[in-house]
Amino acid sequence: MRIHATMTTVALMALLVGGCARAGEDTPGGGAVPGPQRSGPAAPVVNDRWDSCDAALPGQAEDPFGAGQEALTLPLLGDDFQPVSAIICRSGIRQRPGGGSESTAEEARADDLTALLPTLRLSDEPATAEACTADLPAVPWLALVDRDGRWIRPGVPIDSCHKPRREFRKAYEDLVTVTVKSRVVRQLESDAAATAGCSQTYGDMTWALGQDEVVERTLGPLPETVSARRCVYDVPVGERGSGKPAGDFRDGGPLTAADWTAIRAELASAAPGNATCRTPAGRFAVIHLEPGGTLNIEGDGCRRILAEVSNGPGVYLQSSERLTSLVFG
């Protein structure tokens, strides 16, 4: 698969949000703007034949962001080493045929280094900038390989704000790569969740928002017809009772008109719920209503309902046996 270097999970040259400060002076938060210092050998270390990202980055190949930053302090590329290709270790997101997605650890190769190599041979700019944004530049984990299969990690030249020089950023963004290896790191969204139109994980808002006493209020009339989607989540034992328990998707999908009519009737007759009940639920459901609003329903524990169907604070109700059966089956 041929892609540009910019089409990775996280655009490696994107910059994280930050403030503004003079180069080498204090940031508004009180700390000095960090400036990388090159040390060690004068030229990049030449390694034996390239093996893989996993071998070059033991334990870090799944998330090479931190290791990539080291390039700001590594020796710059000289004329002694003659690269013929580049290897990039990066993370990615892959869509599955069934609709789900998974994060991947990828090894990509670039064979046309015409624009990239001159930028790696640039020198560092002196730290003379009047003002610099106090953000953290993302730097790719990059290796250069010669005709004999030997490889080096070149330093990335920095500008007057201690960030990768714009010439390098542009050349890297335009670099055309081929993914040669890819392995799954973890599932991000299951096929079942994607088909149901539900998030893979969701916070138990009934518990999270019931930490403090709330004023009891009456739920207003619910629409007779509505587009509604049900998403059911199991709460791992370790999450129960936390500030915002994260549930894992179990099942879900669109509600039929008959389902909504029955659920609506139970909600209309529900008694006020105890917002501050302290028995955490092992499962909960979220019913998403269109044009707007959600119903958060505990399947056990306190068995409360948090109805958020207007612009005001949510209303706590008490679930019934029938409603539990309708929602959870």
* Residue 229 tokens, joined: 């989607």
Going by C-alpha positions, the residue among 115, 101, 92 that lies closest to residue 189 is: 101
Residue with tokens 């958060």, as numbered in its chain: 296
Closest to 71 (Cα-Cα) out of 13, 3, 28, 149: 13
State the pLDDT at residue 104: 93
State pTM to two decimals: 0.67
pLDDT in tens, the chain (329 residues): 444 443 343 344 443 334 444 444 444 443 334 455 676 678 999 999 999 999 999 988 788 878 889 999 999 999 999 999 999 999 989 999 999 999 999 999 999 999 999 999 999 999 887 788 878 778 999 999 999 999 999 999 999 998 999 999 999 999 999 999 999 999 999 999 999 999 999 999 999 887 555 555 677 778 888 899 999 999 999 999 999 999 999 999 999 999 999 999 999 999 888 767 889 999 999 999 987 789 999 999 999 999 988 666 688 999 999 999 999 98
Q: Is 108 helix (H, G, I), strand (E, B) or coil?
A: strand
State the Cα–Cα distance between residues 98 and 227, nearest whole angstrom: 24
Comparing CA positions, the residue from 277, 201, 207, 200 lying closest to residue 240 is 207
Ramachandran angles phi, psi of 321, nearest 5°: -60, -40
d(CA 141, CA 151): 13
Q: Is residue 284 packed enough to be buried (19+ CB in 10 Å), middle (13-18) or exposed (0-12)?
A: buried
Looking at residue 30, what is its pLDDT?
Answer: 38
Collect all residues with Cβ–Cβ distance below 8 Å to 296 and sequence separation of at least 6. Answer: 204, 205, 206, 284, 285, 286, 305, 306, 307, 308, 314
Residue 7: count of CB within 10 angstroms of its CB: 10
CA distance 264 to 245: 26
Burial class (CB within 10 angstroms; exposed 0-12, middle 13-18, buried 19+) of 235: buried
What is the C-alpha to C-alpha distance for residues 209 and 37, in angstroms, rounded to an integer? 48
What is the predicted pLDDT for the residue at 214?
Answer: 54
CA-to-CA distance for 163 and 135, rounded, in angstroms? 9
Six-digit token string for 193: 């969740």
